[in-house]
Structure 1
């Protein structure tokens, strides 16, 4: 198999060439189609004026051929459009391999600042993990992918996602074709939710009298029209419209209310059917049952016919045959037959849509590895890197610690990479919990629930200061750590930074000791070097690590590597001096001494 970059480059070139070929053929045939139609119309006129039956026979024989030709011509246009879309998708993946992924949906609507880690770990929003991973084409699939990132999966779910992700990861052309079918679907989760609500609603037309009225309405309306036109008087013939008028009056509020549950889903369901038909080509357990696509296309068609209510001339159809009620009745029949199956089909679609994103991640990063799960309270990683950093500048580190009441205390100067290291660890746990590959050469851990406190902010709507917001966050983390049903791994950056240095140090020591007593585990980044003394206490479960910076005059050199011990370098004064703050030389020397 070619490398990801080579695969996408070849796909882009092949599909661009196909798109050009189909477009040229379509444009050439457009002229032929016009000439043929003019000739056909002339022949029809001549034959009918010469001999009506010859003209009629000519029409019967040639109309199917013309319809076939038009369909073939339109198929060329669709093929060209699909090839162009596929080429664009391949080009987008080539850009993503070069760490340009801003053209993908960022999922900011899923962001909840109260979530245990979503805000601090950049799960959603611009340049987020969701944007990096997301290749979904449906609203349900996008919601499912967000759910994977927010909640993780069960042990069974992780194993299934890994196995199926590997299968699809070796089928990048299948994934691109899936995304081509769903391209520009303009889906909306609200339509999806209304459709599921519609499934549980009772039948609209169920009474005997109503059923009889639906059956007779078209015939009565036709008879009334004939009577008014050819027999008269018109007001006598209009009596045949009375049943339809009474039915419309009875259901005048019910029809729009029922239509609201399915409005705008006709076209979407047609595309859903095409996606499920494509899913049915997968091997093994991922196959969709027979008849799914036709059933969904039938539902799509019936909903689209109900959408005719938006036509300004719909009243003629309503009086002529109770149009809306006729299609609501047909929708009742469909709902009764497929009430149990539809949620399962849509769940398969959403799960596969999310799976395409994970499979694409695997294909694009063959060097990433799956987490190895264990019941032992350990966290081991080799060459752990942050996936949102460009591979060219990404610095990796190793990690080895117990997760039953142990803490890594990371000290370091400003900009040394402490916060990035915390996010690196957290975001890879999130990937592992979702059954996705991790940005590492090796990762072994037990299932962990991540909690973070890194970006606490004040809230004017609640009159909450940033310090109080942080205290609330820490209280939530303590509660999670104290829960025996959770295995919490916390990531804390500069705890209690909103108060004075003495209170901060006292509170930080107390918090660390409490978290250890509760058997919590995690990493704490801090500038408070005095906290490093906790490592030397009897029975200590604190280990010191540092991220250093080298200074040469006003030049700073960062290696972003994790080293055992306590930070020995400082750069705050150097940075302030570079920003124009006049600091006496003796203060700088004293600080470095």
Structure 2
């Protein structure tokens, strides 16, 4: 696939170069039309051909408008192609495992979560960076939710079907992503938009009274202004002396208008403060919904999501466009009230109380779409999450979707690998664990691959349970609750040692297992912070307890005695990762082997570090 993306990057570059030349030509045409129109109008005016001006001026304006429209169209096309080029370059970076420049989703990490802190779901070089192709804040949140919470079997199957439909639609998926990219703004929050939409309206219940007041006061202001203007004309003609009394009606009118605007200031400012930063968000949603509405889908999930935007009474994109246009004008008011913002709006507002009309327009929109906006946001975020998984599936055609089994504790993978490792360095293994309380104990030397294998299992289970393809040739899994204890750390602020932190994780695991939920655990080097005798006693006791609670999982350890004892007395199977030392070199094959590890390399590593072993 990397060659496909490289070819698309090159093709897009050709289009960008072509559009750049076209923009230069159109810019020149626009200038020629403008200068030519001005010269033509001046010549006709100097010859006093007024009748000809009636035709030339509108024709000039029309011609200039066409030139500007064509230039803007070409500029939008160039921007879109540039974004497509960027998207394909990003796909190349993902395939090359260069993830540093992608959003890490660090904010979604929760230490108390059953697994996300241990198997690189979020953070630097994470699964989130590999999957995420969303452009909205809600889309990122939805993808993070899918990563953090296993779905039901029915939901997994629906998502698999949707991902399989969208994966081949590369052009549409990239167009969807490019449609939202110009409106990415990390400083905005769609949360504010949803909160405003949920709050009750204030002026709309008294709509008639406010409209009448606005019309009456506006007419009074206009009349008083006209009254004063006529007086000024008479003064300028020396027909009567200037009198301050002619100004009093205008001052009174403007004072009354100012008091009304002051009363409305809090409501106006609240709308602006809540929604001003969300105008780009609305533009992004409008662009995304237009793309979604224009495509035809066959799977039930995608059809149901698309139906959210389509109704005989409204068009979601059209409604969002209306609110965006309302806000674009209302924002001219400025957040500081009648004395701030656009001067032209401020003057008209003082005379005609424009705030009344724009507040009523926004509240009327809210009333009409109060039940819809949240659904539109949710549907767009679902589409973006599915499109992200589809892009991942398209970029990795060798990955496959696992079968979702109805049997409990069914777990089987063929040629399973870690998707965050480069394909050329990745070593794949077969793995199978079936039956309530089945536990695998993995022994191995340092750096032999035990922890990586545990994370390989964990990250692929996360992919399987969110409806994505896994890094494997085939697989069969049953829905379970994944739980890990691999990176327990001390916390100086809370006064928690690493050993106590591990005990807290174990306590959390036991409570989950006692709840009756099917649990699959991954434990890396249990009780590292205590002595060998307590580690042995605690390890064998915990494994027995988990087995009795019908929890299944994998435990990695360096303790051969613990591995032997558990396999003798409990339903535990021993596997290992081995290394070999040739001369002064160590070699690892990272292949899972049945049985205990027999070649530990700690002594050799210490010797290489300069320690003179006794």
Same fold (TM over 0.5): yes
Q: Give the equivalent residue in structure 1 for 2:321.
A: 297
| Mapped contact 1:228–1:238 kept (Cα < 8 A) | no
- Paired with 1:117 and 1:84, the residues of 2 have a C-alpha distance of 38
Q: 2:547 aligns with which of 516, 534, 544?
A: 516
> 1:343 aligned to 2:367?
no
Moved more, 296-305 or 199-208: 199-208
Moved more, 489-498 or 230-239: 230-239
- Paired with 1:357 and 1:101, the residues of 2 have a C-alpha distance of 15
Q: 2:564 aligns with which of 519, 522, 533?
A: 533
| Mapped contact 1:413–1:548 kept (Cα < 8 A) | yes
1:186-209 alpha-carbon deviations (Å, 9 max, x no partner): 334962111111122122213243
- Paired with 1:236 and 1:189, the residues of 2 have a C-alpha distance of 46
Q: Which sections of structure 1, spanning at least 5 residues, go unmatched?
A: 585-593
| Structure 1 pair 316–438 and aligned structure 2 pair: CA distance change class (3 A) | same
> 1:438 aligned to 2:435?
no
Q: Secondary structure at the match of 1:11?
A: helix
Q: Give the equivalent residue in structure 1 for 2:238.
A: none
> 1:487 aligned to 2:502?
no
Q: Give the equivalent residue in structure 1 for 2:483.
A: 451
Q: 1:239 aligns with which of 236, 248, 252?
A: 252
Q: Give the equivalent residue in structure 2 for 1:26.
A: 23
Query: How many Å apart are 1:473 and its aligned residue?
Result: 0.8
> 1:361 aligned to 2:392?
yes
Q: 2:265 aligns with which of 233, 252, 276?
A: 252
Q: Give the equivalent residue in structure 1 for 2:44.
A: 47
Query: How many Å apart are 1:142 and its aligned residue?
Result: 0.7
Moved more, 79-88 or 126-135: 79-88
Query: How many Å apart are 1:536 and its aligned residue?
Result: 4.4
| Structure 1 pair 175–456 and aligned structure 2 pair: CA distance change class (3 A) | same
Moved more, 107-116 or 88-97: 88-97
| Mapped contact 2:153–2:404 kept (Cα < 8 A) | no
Q: Give the equivalent residue in structure 1 for 2:588.
A: 558
Moved more, 214-223 or 423-432: 214-223
Q: Secondary structure at the match of 2:294?
A: coil
Q: In the TM superposition, what are the counterparts of 1:382-421 in structure 2 within 5 Å?
A: 382-421=414-453
Q: Secondary structure at the match of 1:197?
A: helix
> 1:334 aligned to 2:365?
yes
Moved more, 372-381 or 206-215: 206-215
Moved more, 140-149 or 551-560: 551-560
Moved more, 110-119 or 263-272: 263-272
| Mapped contact 2:30–2:64 kept (Cα < 8 A) | no
Q: Secondary structure at the match of 1:91?
A: helix
Q: Give the equivalent residue in structure 2 for 1:105.
A: 103
- Paired with 2:83 and 2:172, the residues of 1 have a C-alpha distance of 14
- Paired with 1:75 and 1:438, the residues of 2 have a C-alpha distance of 42
| Mapped contact 2:142–2:381 kept (Cα < 8 A) | yes
Query: How many Å apart are 1:12 and its aligned residue?
Result: 1.5
| Structure 1 pair 190–23 and aligned structure 2 pair: CA distance change class (3 A) | closer
- Paired with 2:484 and 2:293, the residues of 1 have a C-alpha distance of 41
Query: How many Å apart are 1:526 and its aligned residue?
Result: 0.6
Q: Give the equivalent residue in structure 2 for 1:16.
A: 13
Q: Give the equivalent residue in structure 2 for 1:591.
A: none
Query: How many Å apart are 1:442 and its aligned residue?
Result: 1.2
> 1:477 aligned to 2:482?
no
Query: How many Å apart are 1:183 and its aligned residue?
Result: 1.5
Query: How many Å apart are 1:574 and its aligned residue?
Result: 0.9
| Mapped contact 2:33–2:63 kept (Cα < 8 A) | no
| Structure 1 pair 520–82 and aligned structure 2 pair: CA distance change class (3 A) | same
Q: Give the equivalent residue in structure 2 for 1:174.
A: 172
Q: Secondary structure at the match of 2:430?
A: strand
| Structure 1 pair 155–218 and aligned structure 2 pair: CA distance change class (3 A) | farther
| Structure 1 pair 220–160 and aligned structure 2 pair: CA distance change class (3 A) | farther
Q: Secondary structure at the match of 2:183?
A: coil
> 1:268 aligned to 2:268?
no
| Mapped contact 2:120–2:126 kept (Cα < 8 A) | yes
Q: Which sections of structure 2, spanning at least 5 residues, go unmatched?
A: 232-244, 298-302, 335-340
Query: How many Å apart are 1:403 and its aligned residue?
Result: 4.3
Q: Give the equivalent residue in structure 1 for 2:237.
A: none
- Paired with 2:454 and 2:202, the residues of 1 have a C-alpha distance of 56
Q: Give the equivalent residue in structure 2 for 1:589.
A: none
Query: How many Å apart are 1:556 and its aligned residue?
Result: 0.7
1:213-243 alpha-carbon deviations (Å, 9 max, x no partner): 2333433332232233333621222222244
- Paired with 1:45 and 1:521, the residues of 2 have a C-alpha distance of 88
- Paired with 1:157 and 1:224, the residues of 2 have a C-alpha distance of 67
Moved more, 71-80 or 258-267: 258-267
| Mapped contact 1:48–1:56 kept (Cα < 8 A) | no
1:73-117 alpha-carbon deviations (Å, 9 max, x no partner): 121122112112211211221232222233322111111121111
Q: Give the equivalent residue in structure 1 for 2:123.
A: 125
Q: Secondary structure at the match of 2:35?
A: helix
Moved more, 46-55 or 68-77: 46-55
Q: In the TM superposition, what are the counterparts of 1:200-219 in structure 2 within 5 Å?
A: 200-205=198-203, 206-207=205-206, 208-219=208-219
Moved more, 202-211 or 113-122: 202-211
| Mapped contact 2:567–2:574 kept (Cα < 8 A) | no
Q: Secondary structure at the match of 1:183?
A: helix
| Mapped contact 1:106–1:124 kept (Cα < 8 A) | yes
Higher RCO structure, 1 or 2 (CA under 8 Å, sep 6+): 2
- Paired with 2:76 and 2:330, the residues of 1 have a C-alpha distance of 27
- Paired with 1:112 and 1:569, the residues of 2 have a C-alpha distance of 37
Query: How many Å apart are 1:452 and its aligned residue?
Result: 0.6
- Paired with 2:368 and 2:358, the residues of 1 have a C-alpha distance of 15
> 1:74 aligned to 2:68?
no
Q: Give the equivalent residue in structure 2 for 1:352.
A: 383
TM-score by length of 1: 0.94
| Mapped contact 1:403–1:522 kept (Cα < 8 A) | no
| Mapped contact 2:118–2:486 kept (Cα < 8 A) | yes
